[in-house]
Chain A
Amino acid sequence: MTRVLSYLQAVGEALDQQMGLDPTVVVFGEDNIGGTGCDGTLGHAWGPTQGLHERYPDRVFDAPITEAAFVGAAVGAAATGLRPVADLLFIDFAGVAFDQILNQAAKLRYMAAGRAGAPLVLRAMWGTGMRRGAQHSQALYPLFAHIPGLKVVLPSSPADAKGLMAAAIQDPDPVVFFEHKMLYFTQGEVPEDPYVTPLGQAATVRAGRDCTVVALGRMVHVALEAAAELSAAGIECEVVDPRTISPLDTETIYASVRRTGHLVVVDEANPRCGAAADIAAQVAEHAFDALRGPVRMVTAPHTPTPFSPVLEDAYAPSAGQVVAAVRSTVPYAEQERAS
């Protein structure tokens, strides 16, 4: 059965169901119970783990503000028989625990020649739009996708948030799970029973013949808004949501570009050495013959995220920028056809 849930509720339902299915799943982080030693059960800053402690009292923990210790503990616990879901709150705090992510979790399987691994999930909020300033708004997924051994997940809808979280928990490798805080209260149809959305499979969220728009995270919604506007003008965009950027479903992207001949990548991360640059480069390397116009990237500028609402609104890519980018590449084909 399918109901309408918020993205946040979908994450919470996945945690609950996977804990029910597998007694080795444990959940911890700051305020994951919330109120340990006090009254009340907050259930994470925004509530997705509310009630979990009542249902699984021995498997949900609050952690002190000790990111290096509890992320590292997730690695050690994962390597010795548990499937921990550790919650960093904001991905920006990964810096405090980066050794444990970069040097311990990501490299364990390789250094042990496959004789050990770290099946853990690192949950984290990310993204602009909430006026949280430069240390609570970053789109750091390219940093993690750069590191072999980590899987990096970016759900854009409630249904994907649930299915990808289930896949992340069941995955034998460390997964960094990026939850966009501006999507937390978006609603969508979500199946009630447990299900898994495989990692490494893109979704074509809109079909179209004229231009492929690859969009990441919240940018999927921005791309769809742009696609609707362009459709009214007779340009049909195909919008592809990779859903995970490591592993990246390049085949779906190449196949789409081969149909449309054009590529625009929309990414909220900084442009240098970023996810958009990587996708653009891979298409240029492997599907150059299919391109009938220049690849365009629409990204945030290469600056930290500003606080002022006016500045922050100008920072994240907009539908208008996506429309302009598509219009700037599609005419190459029209000129080609005319000549």
Chain B
Amino acid sequence: MYRTMRTIRAFEERLHAEFADGAIPGAVHLYAGQEAIAAGVCSVLGAEDYVASTHRGHGHAIAKGCDVTAMMLEIYGKAGGVCGGKGGSMHIADFGRGMLGANGVAAGGVPLSAGAALSAKVRGTDQVSVAFVGDGGANQGAFAETLVLARVWNLPVVFVVEDNGYAQATGTRFHLDSRDVAPRAEAVGIPATVVDGYDVRAVRAAAAEAVERARAGGGPSLVDCKAFRFFGHMEGWDQQGYRGAGEVEQLRATHDCLVLHRDHLLAESEATEAELTAVDTEVAALIDTAVAAAVAAPEPDLSELLTDVYAPV
């Protein structure tokens, strides 16, 4: 899990810098700060299990095992990207890895996740489907409807709410009235837990219980994770003026999930400083390689504009 978290952090911090340099087109929504959720949840999933993601999807893709270089190429809009440069940051999908896609619509992926769970059930596999959704997406009708459908159809799906405090710039103090999302699931008969999203072990434990329930035919669950994001809603656009003075710095100092996990691993003697530093070094090299490949990769051929609207005849 440490390697996954470190990879996501390095990927996102590098994207932040590259975007600031003008190297990356379009809209990029960074996940840094929330790594414990993607890493904790995906650590209990197998390669065949599914995840449907959000705007802020890089972390889920990395945690689900997508190729980091192919993701970087995609974000640069280059040929050879994981979606051939036709998806971009907000639409990274890799069905071969069970990654059903980041989504440009808040809660847009939640019903898809229920469909993947239905598919697993009808095909008679023991696959589980996870729907990631933000605190903002949790207000969408599609989310509320899918809770009902998943309960009624008893689907093997886990709803993971990533409550990072803001729906774009609107705080949960306003848009959730400072409440948790969990009781909304309980209201339709879905068991739900509220979890410290800074603690990867706590997330993993809650996810393990929910995934086990789904795999055993026990139906849907919801895990409501509290976290925060380092960067603004979207790169370039958002200077986070809506956050309190010093809020980000304070949270970074005390609630950095990666630092907390690293400290835990050292305190419990589960890893040595040298081992963790070696991981950091390997990950840094991986990200350097991915960026270099993305910069060097060719643009998509213009003929690609008109392909893949329909399946080839």
Beta-carbon contact of B87 and A151 below 8 Å? no
- Tell which of A26, A75, A113, A114 touches B111, judged by Cβ atoms closer than 8 Å: A75
What is the CB-to-nearest-CB distance from B121 to chain A, in angstroms, rounded to a whole number?
Answer: 9
Instruction: Say whether A72 contacts B122, CB under 8 Å.
Output: no
Given contacts A77-B116, A78-B115, contact A148 B309 (CB under 8 A): yes
Query: Quick check: B115 and A73 within 8 Å, CB to CB?
Result: yes
B86, A113: Cβ atoms closer than 8 Å? yes
Q: Quick check: is A69 within 8 A (CB to CB) of the other chain?
A: yes
B114 pairs with A69, CB closer than 8 A? yes
For residue A297, CB closer than 8 A to chain B, the reply is no
Cβ of A35 to closest chain B Cβ, rounded Å: 15
Which residues from chain B contact A80 at a C-beta distance below 8 Å?
50, 95, 100, 115-116, 119-120
| Bound-state Cα–Cα, A172 to B313, Å | 10
Most buried by A among B87, B95, B112, B312: B112
Contact flags A20-34 to B (C-beta < 8 A → 1, else 0): 000010100000000
Residues of B within 8 A of A140 (CB): none
Q: Does A117 contact B (CB under 8 A)?
A: yes
Which listed residue (B87, B104, B118, B309) contacts A76, Cβ 8 A? B118
Q: Mark B95-121, 1 if CB is under 8 A from A, else 0.
A: 110001101110010111111111110
Query: B84 at interface (Cβ–Cβ under 8 A)?
Result: yes
For window 18-63 of A, CB contacts with B under 8 Å fall at 24, 26, 58-59, 61, 63
Is the CB–CB distance between B114 and A72 below 8 Å? yes
- Chain B residues contacting A72 (CB-CB under 8 Å) are 108, 110-112, 114-115, 142, 146
Known A111-B91, A111-B93; contact A73-B309, beta-carbon cutoff 8 A: no
Known A26-B122, A69-B146: A173·B308 in contact at CB below 8 Å: no
**Residue-wise interface mask of B (64-91) relative to A, using a CB-CB cutoff of 8 A (1 in contact, 0 not):** 0000000000000000000111110001
A100 to B129, CA, bound (A): 18
Q: Is A71 an interface residue (CB 8 A)?
A: yes
A104 interface residue per 8 A CB criterion? yes
Cβ of B250 to closest chain A Cβ, rounded Å = 37
Q: Which residues of B contact A77 (CB under 8 A)?
A: 115-116, 118-119, 122
Contact partners of A81 in chain B: CB under 8 A: 119, 123
Interface size class of B (residues with CB under 8 A): 35 or more
- The answer to whether B145 has its CB under 8 Å from any CB of chain A is yes
Query: B124-154, CB under 8 A of A: which get 1 and which 0?
Result: 0000010000000000011001101110110
Chain A residues numbered 65-112 whose CB sits less than 8 Å from any CB in chain B: 66-82, 84, 96, 99-100, 103-104, 108-112
Flag if A100 contacts B111 (CB, 8 Å): yes
> A100 near B142 (CB under 8 angstroms)?
yes
Q: Are B310 and A74 in touch, CB under 8 angstroms?
A: no
B303 within 8 A of A: no
B178 at the interface (CB under 8 A from A): no
Inter-chain contacts of B86 with A (CB < 8 A): 110-113
Check A99–B142 contact: CB distance below 8 A. yes
Interface size bracket, A side: 35 or more
For residue A234, CB closer than 8 A to chain B, the reply is no
Q: Is A76 a contact partner of B119 (Cβ separation < 8 A)?
A: yes
Is B142 a contact of A68 with CB atoms below 8 Å?
yes
Residues of A within 8 A of B142 (CB): 68-69, 72, 99-100
Residue among A64, A84, A172 making CB contact with B148, cutoff 8 Å: A64
Q: Which chain B residues border A68 with CB–CB below 8 Å?
A: 111, 141-142, 145-146
Give chain B nearest CB distance to A123 CB in angstroms.
17
Q: Give the CA-CA distance A75 to B122 in the complex, in Å.
A: 15
19 contacts between A and B (CB under 8 A): A63-B149, A64-B149, A66-B149, A70-B149, A72-B146, A73-B111, A74-B115, A75-B115, A76-B118, A80-B50, A81-B123, A82-B123, A99-B142, A109-B310, A111-B87, A112-B101, A113-B84, A115-B84, A117-B311
**17 other contacts beyond A72-B115, A112-B87, A247-B310, with CB at 8 A cut-off?**
A24-B122, A58-B122, A63-B149, A66-B145, A68-B142, A76-B112, A77-B119, A78-B115, A82-B119, A104-B103, A104-B105, A109-B308, A109-B310, A111-B101, A112-B308, A113-B304, A114-B307
